[in-house]
């Protein structure tokens, strides 16, 4: 069964399983997790193009995932085993046809440690890449942005969240920080996003929430081009900054700050 999986991804999964083994879970609990990760369903998802784009490929990504495992150990030292029992329970409960155990495990860690998110901006030639990272792991990004001096606009193809991390406020966090960067470093510059699919109603509603306006169509009419004008940037930041996700757990929506307060009260000594 294991030989069906990409070797680089298998190394990452083995690192995660090694971490889980060191948590002090029972042999039965460890075996249940192992069977889930290497189930036919998970293996099929892990071999999909979308999943490989999220979790495999370059050496840099190998380092990023190792950094995330180190981050998990830090959280274990702070919160103890019960926190990760909750994470594992969450992953089993909310995995579905679109996101598997690993997706949901990361989602739980992200939602419950939202204040740990960091913005990482890289410049390459004339391109700007913005990443949102959790423990070094990129969970959202806007890549290949280009500054058009003549038009006074920052042009980007799309905003992307890691598969399985929807409804986590990640998209809002990314765009708000992009707007802050433009306001501080490129005053007077508007933001353009290409390749917004016409059929992507959820995506269009998301852009509309941030004040983006449809300004053009691609030649075949399948995609929109959207823009947020300079005069709406301040309003957008004020309206959408400091938003936190809720955690759906045991059938209840738990406010992030409430969960953190309870979690901090249970910190390991």
Tens-place pLDDT, residues 170-183: 989 999 999 999 99
Q: Is the pLDDT of residue 140 over 70?
A: yes
CA-based max dimension of the chain:
63
Measured CA distances, 57 to 50, 52, 130, 163, 184 (Å): 12, 7, 19, 16, 34
For helices 233-240 and 170-185, the axis angle rounded to 10 degrees is 140
Bridge partner list, 119: 132
> Which tens digit of pLDDT belongs to each residue from 181-229?
999 998 889 888 877 788 888 888 888 888 888 887 766 667 888 888 8
What is the predicted pLDDT for the residue at 69?
92
Domain 117-240: give its CATH code.
3.40.630.30
Where does the chain hold its CATH 3.40.630.30 domain(s)?
117-240
Q: Is the pTM of this model over 0.75?
A: yes
């Amino acid at each position: 069964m294991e030989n069906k999986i990409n070797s680089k991804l298998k190394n990452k999964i083995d690192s995660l399983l090694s971490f889980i083994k060191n948590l002090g879970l029972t042999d039965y609990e460890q075996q249940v997790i192992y069977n889930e990760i290497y189930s036919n369903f998970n293996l099929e998802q892990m071999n999909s193009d979308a999943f490989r784009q999220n979790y495999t490929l370059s050496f840099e990504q190998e380092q990023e995932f190792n950094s995330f495992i180190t981050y998990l150990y830090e959280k274990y030292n702070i919160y103890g085993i019960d926190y990760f029992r909750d994470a594992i329970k969450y992953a089993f409960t909310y995995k579905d046809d679109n996101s598997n155990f690993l997706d949901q495990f990361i989602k739980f860690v992200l939602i419950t440690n939202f204040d740990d998110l960091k913005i990482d901006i890289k410049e390459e030639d004339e391109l700007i890449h913005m990443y949102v990272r959790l423990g070094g792991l990129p969970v959202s990004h806007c890549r290949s942005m280009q500054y058009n001096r003549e038009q006074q606009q920052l042009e980007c193809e799309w905003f992307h969240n890691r598969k399985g991390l929807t409804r986590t406020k990640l998209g809002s966090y990314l765009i708000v920080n992009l707007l802050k960067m433009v306001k501080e470093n490129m005053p007077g510059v508007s933001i353009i996003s290409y390749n917004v699919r016409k059929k992507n109603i959820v995506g269009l509603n998301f852009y509309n929430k941030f004040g983006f306006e449809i300004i053009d169509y691609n030649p075949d009419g399948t995609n929109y081009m959207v823009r947020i004008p300079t005069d709406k940037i301040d309003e957008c930041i004020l309206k959408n900054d400091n938003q936190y996700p809720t955690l759906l757990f045991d059938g209840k929506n738990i406010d992030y700050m409430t969960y953190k307060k309870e979690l901090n009260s249970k910190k390991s000594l």
